[in-house]
Amino acid sequence: MTGLIQILGVVFGTLLIVVGIAESFFIRDQRLHRLFLVDPDDVETVRLWTFNLGFYNVIWGIGAIVGALMLAGPESAEGRTLLLFTSVAHVILGITLFISERRLWGSALAEAVLPLIITVLLLV
């Protein structure tokens, strides 16, 4: 079971890093405006926020990957704690995203479902 959790944790972390890079460095790409619900006229206004938000996601992603990799080592309890914290946080963030902007329901699911699976697997 640990191997599955590690794979899911690395996938989860990688997805967060990819989204973070998109938010930080590619917000001006018009193909992403629909994904992030950004009006082209507002890109420069939100750029600072998305830049910082992107780095939050990159850091969360690194935490998920490090926690997943630590599960197989001598610090497995610490890795489990780190991955569990990251996963639970993103379940809550996904719910918050859905509540705050229902049009982003797909993004909310993407943010919450995989970490929910990881959370359940870590707790059973």
pLDDT band at 105; cut points 50, 70, 90:
very high
Residue 118 — very low, low, confident or very high, per pLDDT cuts 50/70/90? very high
Query: At CA 61, angle to CA 124 and CA 99, rounded to 5?
Result: 75
Query: Is it the case that residue 82 has pLDDT exceeding 90?
Result: yes
Give the 3-state DSSP-derived string for 11-58, with helices as H, strands as E and coil as C.
Answer: HHHHHHHHHHHHHHHCCCCHHHHHHHCCCHHHHHHHHHHHHHHHHHHH
How many domains would you assign to the chain? 1
**pTM of the predicted protein model:** 0.90
Candidates 110, 80, 103; CA nearest to 16 is 110
User: What's the domain range around 62?
Assistant: 2-123
Determine the number of helices (DSSP H) and then strands (DSSP E) in the chain: 5, 0
pLDDT interval class at 43 (50, 70, 90): confident
- pLDDT for residue 123: 96
Q: What's the token pair of residue 72?
A: 């197989």
